Structure 1
Amino acid sequence: MDSSNRNNETNASGFIAPTSNSVEPEFELSTTPGHENVAPLAEDALITDSEPVAKAKKPRTPFQESLSRFRRDKRAMTSLIIIVLMIVIAVFGPFIYHHIGGPYKGDLSTKIIGPDLYHTFDHQELDRAHEGPSAQYWLGTDGIGRDILARLMQGMLISITLAVVVEVVDISLGITVGVLAGYYGGWIDQFLARLADLLFAFPGLLFIILVAGILGNWADDHLSVIPIVGPGGNARLLLISIVLALTAWPLMARYVRGQTLQLKEQQFIEAAKTSGTSDFTILTRHIVPNLFSIVMVASTLNITGTIIGEAGISYLGLGVQPPGASIGLMISDASQSLSAYPWELLVPSLTLVIIVLSFSFIGDGLRDAFDPHSKD
């Protein structure tokens, strides 16, 4: 029997004769009853544990990209560490400092004096005036025997607290006024713009001096009864905080207004309006969150002006009053004996310079991180 007959017999019997040139059959989806959902084996299923599948990395948001750029700014990060360290020292330092050292008997008194007393910012001993740094007084004493380190920590606390209070008011008023003026426009924009121009027309420092000079004694008599403020020369801080905030918010409102004018023309705002979203929801969920970068940068840079303003007012004798302590008041007291004891002036002046430069570098780092095109 020839080969053609053998092939016909094989095909008729329903079997495939194996040959050297036979091709392996392809797997197909079974359509027999009971096997409708059986799929062919995928190639990914053949990957063993020794061949892990690389997961797709989730893209970072613009905010995360900005934070990454800020963390790469060594100058800004160093400044941030310095500010955090100063805050920790100003808040917790006095409680620790009050327990360092032993008691002693004063030369002009038979009373035993402990560290909880001579390490306070308002305790004075005339027989210990103008002492240099020692184991008892780490940074020495001033002209009337007060601990310079204790007064410096109190001064840093005053400056940072005042800056935070002023910025809270500044941000609140600036965002509210700027967003309303930029989003609605019309007579609201005109009214708020004229109000901001009125405050801009009056010099801020002159306005602070005027208010502190006129209402300073009233603040000492009436505001000192407030539990948080209390006596001790700090009563005028509340008055100065209000005045500094009133002079600072128009600039913040102008920044926010300009940014709001750009945001309200974006497509996602138009889409929110078309879908029937209320103005309040658009402002709180779409406009205000997108103002984060400009508000943070402006407020950080404004802190430096606030700290310098408070120091200047206290230096002129219109801010914190004795026996209170502030950096400006320490500079004013030390300037009277500059030639004989320059150390007493160097310590608060250097501290003020470090605080101002640190906040300035942080502001520059935030600006470069959230607006990379600002370098161009």
Structure 2
Amino acid sequence: MIILWTDGLIYILITVITLLFFALRGKEHFVRPWKKISQSRTAMVSLVFLVFFLSIGLLDSIHFRSNDRQNHDIISVLDYWANPIRLHHEKSYSAPFAAYLYSKELIMQADQAPYWGYPRLEYGGSHLSNVSEDKAGDIIAKAWLGFIKGAGVIIILCYAYHWLLGRAFFSNKTVNTVFTTLFFLGSSSYMLVELSSYYHVLGTDKVGEDVFYQTIKSIRTGLVIGSLTTLIMLPLAIIFGILAGFFRGWVDDVIQYIYTTLNSIPGVLLIAASILMVQVYMANHQQQFTSLVARADMRLLFLCLILGVTSWTGLCRMLRAETLKLREMEYVQAAQALGVPRGVILYRHILPNVMHIVLISVVLDFSSLVLAEAVLSYVNIGVDPTTYSWGNMINGARLEMAREPVVWWSLAASFLFMFTLVLAANLFADSVRDAFDPRRVQS
């Protein structure tokens, strides 16, 4: 097993979240909002989609070295499972579920004169003897087989839940909604997996690589940008925001000067300069980056670092304002009068009462960071060009949309998956805000 830098940070983040969950699961002020969230159908459906994307990202974060004799590069568990579509490259563009290339070529056969036509794909639909007559029925049959497999797995999970917990899952509307969503995701996923073994379900790109594989691989990049940037941003925002609001005076002045200076620097220029510095360093130390995967991972890590350094100022300002209000509360004044150390006051009285702002900001900022990666990659200052990301797919689709006939499926696939992830994150963020915001809590 090989642990990349971003893999290690993801494991640390999961460990921290797990420890916080077990530490706070008995706290009423923490449990009550989550109970409210669990009663919202919209929140639970969004959470199911987020967990689905997260599971794919985690599978793509377990890396090892390939045992292929011709290629000993670093691959992930997701790559290993997706070998049928990862290794089946065509010559060039092909449309979704196509059996022929998208552009005409000069076809030369031994028993015929050369002619212009659409050559058959090497892998997509290659099992069909008569494409025009057999393809539609074959797609329906394999889609139905995948649907049955996915539905069977979800039904088994439903009855396992019923048997283990001793309750009927149809009696709870929220649980019913969750399993309905799981049924849709499971059956759809199995359908796509079954079909992708025989067809390129979302077509291929200019070099013949499967677009469905690219889109699935891009999930990890979006999740890494959203989660690791938050992991870097939170300590800076929490520490500086609370210190500025509690101590005021010269401490407040210094911290305000720091984040005001950062806000005055155009973020795009700062990110571009940082990425160029990383590229120069990797070019001068090539012996440290013998693998393309390691080089791309290092650039992704530095992109998370620079986004985290430049995006903590907004949350810091909100925490400063909230701390200025909390330090004047009676219980804080009483603690100071009794001689309680300032560190204890910050930890026991200030920090717990600003965590609702932190949680709300984290969930709301996640979707904006995913979109930021797409924008930065579109202007070529984002992730490495060899990294699978929705931004790189959109960037590559610019020229494809200008050709005739139009190659639309790369842009459509990246837009659909990114839209689904961002929409689920935004809907879940709304529910978290309503549950944790004290001003919205009804007596």
Q: TM-score, normalised by structure 1?
A: 0.70
TM-superposed CA distance for 1:125, in Å, is 3.1
Q: Report if the CA contact (8 A) 2:282-2:295 is conserved.
A: no
| Equivalent residue, structure 2, for 1:107 | none
Q: 1:366 to 1:228 in 2, by over 3 A?
A: farther
C-alpha deviation, 1:157, in angstroms: 0.3
Spell out, residue by residue over 1:253-284, the C-alpha distance to the aligned partner (whole angstroms, 9 max, x if none).
11111111122122222232233221111112
User: Does 2:141 align with 1:78?
Assistant: no
- 1:119 and 1:267 map into 2 onto residues whose CA distance is 63
Query: Are 1:144 and 2:212 an aligned pair?
Result: no
| Aligned Cα root-mean-square deviation (Å) | 3.0
The answer to whether the aligner puts 1:125 opposite 2:187 as a matched pair is: no
Q: Residue 94 and residue 258 in structure 1: after superposition, are their counterparts in 2 closer, same or farther (change >3 A)? A: closer
Q: 1:131 to 1:209 in 2, by over 3 A?
A: same
The 2-side partners of 1:156 and 1:135 are apart by 18
Corresponding residue for residue 11 of structure 2: none
Larger fraction in helix: 2
Q: CA deviation at 1:249?
A: 0.6
What do residues 66-109 of structure 1 show as CA deviations (whole Å, max 9, x unaligned)?
223322333232222111111112333799xxxxxxxxxxxxxx
Matched position secondary structure for 2:434 = helix
Verify the 8 A CA contact 2:60 2:217 in the aligned structure 1.
Answer: no
Inter-CA distance 231–311: structure 2 relative to 1 (3 Å threshold): same
Q: Please identify the structure whose Cα radius of gyration is greater.
A: 1
For 1:78 and 1:224, locate their aligned partners in 2 and report how far apart those are by CA, in whole Å.
47
State the SS of the aligned residue for 2:343: helix
Contact 1:142-1:344 at 8 Å conserved across structures: yes
Which ranges of structure 1 fall in alignment gaps of 5 or more residues? 1-59, 96-113
Instruction: Give 1:69's match in structure 2, choosing from 26, 30, 36.
Output: 36
Map 1:214-233 onto structure 2 (within 5 A): 214-215=276-277, 217-218=279-280, 220-221=282-283, 222=285, 225=288, 230-231=293-294, 233=296
Comparing 244-253 with 362-371, which one deviates more in the overlay? 362-371
Structure 1: distance between partners of 2:287 and 2:237: 29
Distance in 2, matches of 1:371 and 1:93, equals 35
Distance verdict in 2 for CA 1:362–1:270, change over 3 Å: same
Percent of residue pairs identical: 26
Do residues 358 (structure 1) and 413 (structure 2) align? Answer: no
Shift of 1:320: 2.4
In 2, Cα distance between equivalents of 1:72 and 1:115:
36
* Paired residues of 1:94 and 1:153 also in contact (CA < 8 A): no
Give, in angstroms, the shift of residue 206 of structure 1: 4.0
CA distance in 1, matches of 2:348, 2:323: 13
How big is the shift at 1:160?
0.3
Query: Which stretch shows the higher mean deviation, 328-337 or 125-134?
Result: 125-134
Q: Judging changes above 3 Å, is the alpha-carbon distance between structure 1 residues 229 and 252 closer, same or farther for their aligned structure 2 residues?
A: farther
| C-alpha contact (below 8 Å) 2:230/2:362 kept by paired residues | yes
Task: Say which is worse superposed, 225-234 or 324-333, in terms of deviation.
Answer: 225-234
Match 2:270 to one of 197, 204, 207? 207
Deviation at 1:186, TM superposition (A): 0.5
Question: Which amino acid letter does the alignment assign opposite residue 370 of structure 1?
Answer: F
In the TM superposition, residue 230 of structure 1 has moved relative to its aligned partner by: 4.3
TM value normalised by structure 2: 0.60
Distance 2:394 2:312 in 1: 28
Distance 1:249 1:91 in 2: 26
Question: 1:268 and 2:232 equivalent?
Answer: no
2:287, 2:363 → 1: CA distance?
Answer: 30
Contact 1:216 1:318 in 2 (8 A): no
Alignment of 1:1-376 (within 5 A): 61-92=28-59, 117=83, 119-120=85-86, 125-127=89-91, 129-133=93-97, 134-136=195-197, 137-212=200-275, 214-215=276-277, 217-218=279-280, 220-221=282-283, 222=285, 225=288, 230-231=293-294, 233-338=296-401, 340-371=406-437, 373=439
SS at match of 1:76: helix
Q: How many pairs were matched up?
A: 296
Structure 2 unaligned residues grouped into runs of 5+: 1-26, 63-79, 98-194
Q: Decide whether aligned partners of structure 1 residues 135 and 182 sit closer, same or farther in structure 2, where only a CA change above 3 A counts.
A: closer
Residue by residue, what CA displacement relative to the aligned partner does 1:157-193 show, whole Å, maximum 9, x if unpaired? 0110121111011111000000111111100001101
Assess if the C-alpha contact under 8 Å between 1:327 and 1:352 holds in 2.
yes
**Cα contact 1:196–1:250 (8 A) shared by 2:** yes
How much has 1:375 moved relative to structure 2?
10
Give secondary structure in 1 for the equivalent of 2:351. helix
Q: CA deviation at 1:235?
A: 3.2
Alignment check: 8 A CA contact 2:394 2:414 kept: yes
Equivalent-residue separation in structure 2 for 1:363 and 1:223 (angstroms): 42
Q: Does the CA-based 8 Å contact 2:289-2:295 persist in structure 1?
A: no
Question: Using the alignment, how far apart are the partners of 1:237 and 1:224 within structure 2?
Answer: 19
Contact map agreement 1:264 1:270 (CA 8 A) in 2: yes
